[in-house]
Amino acid sequence: MTANAFLITPINKLCEEYDVYLIVNGDTGELSSEFDESLSVILVRIERKIMILRDLQALYKLIRIFKSHDFDLIQSVTPKAGLLAMIAAYVCRVKNRIHIFTGQVWATKTGYSRRVFKQIDSFLASLATEILVDSESQKNFLVNEKVVPVGKAHVLGNGSISGVNLERFKFDITIRENIREQLSIKEEDNVFLFLGRLNRDKGVLDLASAFAAMENKDSHLLFVGPDEEGIRTEIEQILVNYTDKVHFIGFSTKPEHYMSSADILCLPSYREGFGSVVVEAAAVGIPTIGSRIYGIEDAIVDESTGLLFEVKNWQALQACMERIVLDKVLLNKLGSNAKKRAEKMFSNQFLAGEWLSYYKARL
């Protein structure tokens, strides 16, 4: 899933210059056909959750693979795969060991669990020869928390893991009309969009509370994404009086379609590495209302490409939502600025070039 969502363009760019091997979980899903034909794929079962026996099996397989192929550089993505890959690469004395951080699970935790997960990230960072981070504010957070030493962490380009595909993420009036017709939404109605995993750390309960409290009722709210925590029932309870205005779409392989159908993206997350969905929506011409946290602060320029509000403050979120639906001039200005910024700073072709330059400097 991570490879299909983020790594197609940078990997294909690297394939122009290098022999590239992609090691992915062999149990879930299939790789996109868009990957370069020269890419070699190796399947290793890597569980997302902690499962000691299977984790040790995966580590053993990675060590065998690394030793047999004698790689010049190992690049890892996601927490569990990153930890196992950096341990295996260290054991095999791979010269270039690089991990990319895209957010910290411990950022919103407290007590024992925060200490444990933070120590794991620190250990991972100590095994790597260099660390990539997908936003400047996240890099500063990791340095301030003493997880990564100053000078060891780098951000490619202007941030994000791979940028946005400008050919894919663009406004389509026909799709907008079709989706709105399917959902019985009038063209003049305002549509707020949440796109991502439905869980508490994404702030979906705050979004539901803010929408329920809005005075302007000519608005609709779309939830597009898998319900990871079985939280839909709680959302529905908060929005019990607005069932005709709230739409649960579930997981979609075409998020850009729902961006075209919407007017404003809402990202009230408690933690976020960068907020790739923000620049994807921006490329479609959709501004974002987002929480003021590291990562999202890099994706949104407050009052220029979107609006930022105090994290976990649903009343502040409501105020931003009310403001933007009552001021069409503001809405159009934010959307136009967001689109220009995405095209100028976050093109996936530009980021792929940054990946290639980074590799060349080390190889």
* Alpha helix ranges (H) inside the chain: 2, 8-15, 52-69, 79-91, 111-127, 136-144, 173-182, 204-213, 232-238, 255-261, 276-284, 296-299, 314-326, 328-345, 348-362
pLDDT at residue number 354: 97
- Would the pLDDT of 29 be above 90? no
Which structural domain range is residue 37 located in? Answer: 2-163+348-362
- Would the pLDDT of 217 be above 80? no
- Looking at the structure, do residues 107 and 227 belong to the same domain, yes or no? no
Q: What is the CATH number of the domain that holds 57?
A: 3.40.50.2000
Q: What is the mean pLDDT of the chain?
A: 95
For residues 24 and 6, the answer to whether their CB atoms sit within 8 Å is: no
**pLDDT tens per residue, range 243-277:** 999 999 999 989 999 999 999 999 999 999 898 99
- Looking at the structure, do residues 115 and 204 belong to the same domain, yes or no? no
- Looking at the structure, do residues 177 and 153 belong to the same domain, yes or no? no
| Cα separation, 237 vs 292, whole angstroms | 27
- Looking at the structure, do residues 296 and 358 belong to the same domain, yes or no? no
Packing angle between helix 79-91 and helix 111-127, nearest 10 degrees? 40
Q: What percent of the chain has pLDDT over 70?
A: 99
- Would the pLDDT of 330 be above 90? yes
Which residues lie closer than 8 Å to 9 by C-beta, 6 or more apart?
A: 162, 163, 165, 348, 349, 351, 352
- Looking at the structure, do residues 45 and 126 belong to the same domain, yes or no? yes
| Cα separation, 324 vs 249, whole angstroms | 24
- Looking at the structure, do residues 27 and 151 belong to the same domain, yes or no? yes
Confidence of residue 28 (pLDDT cuts 50, 70, 90): low
In a domain, 91, yes or no: yes
User: How many distinct structural domains can be found in the chain?
Assistant: 2
- Would the pLDDT of 159 be above 90? yes
Max distance between CA atoms of the chain, in angstroms, equals 64
pLDDT at residue number 210: 97
| Cα separation, 146 vs 119, whole angstroms | 10
- Would the pLDDT of 278 be above 70? yes
Q: Is the pTM of this model over 0.85?
A: yes
Average pLDDT over residues 326-347: 97
- Looking at the structure, do residues 248 and 140 belong to the same domain, yes or no? no
- Looking at the structure, do residues 193 and 94 belong to the same domain, yes or no? no
